[in-house]
Amino acid sequence: MSIIHQTPAFPFAIGCPVWSSDMWGDIVYPKRTPRREWLSWYTRMFNTVEGNSTFYALPSLDIAKRWANEAAEGFEFALKFPRDISHEGNLRASSLLEKFVEIVTILDDGHHAGPSFLQLPPWFDSSRLNELEKFVQLLPSHLPWSVEVRHPSWFQNDSVEAHLNETLVSLKMDRVIFDSRALFQSPPDDEIEAESQKRKPNSPVRFVRTGNRPVIRIVGRNRVELADQYVKEWLPVVDQWVRDGCRPYVFTHAPDDAFAPAFARRMADFYRDQFRPDASPLPLPPATAKQMTLFDE
């Protein structure tokens, strides 16, 4: 008989940009855990994940079914649209879009679909709002979707931004808020942070939601405590959304993925301490849990 695992019952969805990393031994899964078991372990440590791998290539339908079968009960994937649609496909209907929707549907049928997100490229400016509107109207309304804009023009004209928000509200879609303030607050500490500062946008931050699944993608530093002031600025906003009956999704990025799990746990701990002390904490890293078990013995 198979064991049904439970994902953490945290007040909101929180997780990392990926579910697997060679650097997460004893952090997310015990050391020497076979790679085929990494997803199962991750879904017991966090309750959501950004599916960044689908930006580069889509899995087969069989693999998508395997993801749904391996994920702990209650876990949700927030898949990124393939770049061949968002960055190179000029936002049009295609067989690739049909396959992506089919993959999201498989996850949704298994109760594992979070808000899949359309990340627009940095050159997609607000003059293409009508093009964006036509595309998002093609997406099945019963599935959860979200949109991230990056070009500065989306943030420089109040009426344009209001139109964008109104469009998403009317379609019950969520807006992805990208917060990289911690990354850019000071010079990089290492080469990985320097490269991240070159690649990541430094967009204005909007404390706004357009649907019931607001999405925050927050980029910190490899010294995760350097993001504390921005995390603490977000926490009352997230808590209010929870109290409003929404399900926020928070994805913690670090320039080096090795530190993303620690960033997520730190944010979750701050939230419990300040707002929900009765909430269950995220599970301890396997190494810490093992040490505590030995101590108890």
Query: If pLDDT is split at 50, 70 and 90, which confidence band does 289 have?
Result: low
Q: How far apart are alpha carbons 103 and 24 in whole angstroms?
A: 27
Q: How far is CA 19 from CA 112, 151, 228, in A?
A: 14, 28, 23
Backbone phi, psi, residue 196, to 5°: -65, -40
Task: Answer whether residue 283 is part of any domain.
Answer: yes
Taking only the tens place, the pLDDT of each residue in 50-81 is: 999 999 999 999 999 999 999 999 999 999 99
Task: Answer whether residue 98 is part of any domain.
Answer: yes
Is residue 148 within 8 Å of residue 179, measured between CB atoms?
no
CATH number at residue 190: 3.20.20.410
- Closest by Cα among 12, 46, 8 to 29: 46
Q: How far apart are alpha carbons 86 and 97 in whole angstroms?
A: 10
Taking only the tens place, the pLDDT of each residue in 202-222 is: 999 999 999 999 999 999 999
Taking only the tens place, the pLDDT of each residue in 137-188 is: 999 999 999 999 999 999 999 999 999 999 999 999 999 999 999 999 999 9
Task: Answer whether residue 266 is part of any domain.
Answer: yes
Return the structure tokens found at 255.
């320039």
Q: How far apart are alpha carbons 106 and 227 in whole angstroms?
A: 36
Is residue 88 within 8 Å of residue 60, measured between CB atoms?
no
Task: Answer whether residue 5 is part of any domain.
Answer: no
Q: What is the four-CA torsion angle of 48, 184, 22, 280, rounded to 10 degrees?
A: -40
Average pLDDT over residues 263-275: 97
Task: Answer whether residue 188 is part of any domain.
Answer: yes
The residue segments making up the domain with residue 148 are 13-296
Return the structure tokens found at 248.
């926020």
Q: How far is CA 29 from CA 33, 46, 203, in A?
A: 7, 12, 34
Task: Answer whether residue 2 is part of any domain.
Answer: no
Q: What is the four-CA torsion angle of 291, 293, 295, 297, rounded to 10 degrees?
A: -150
Task: Answer whether residue 269 is part of any domain.
Answer: yes
Return the structure tokens found at 134.
């036509």
pTM: 0.94
Task: Answer whether residue 90 is part of any domain.
Answer: yes
Average pLDDT over residues 180-197: 97
Number of domains comprising the chain: 1
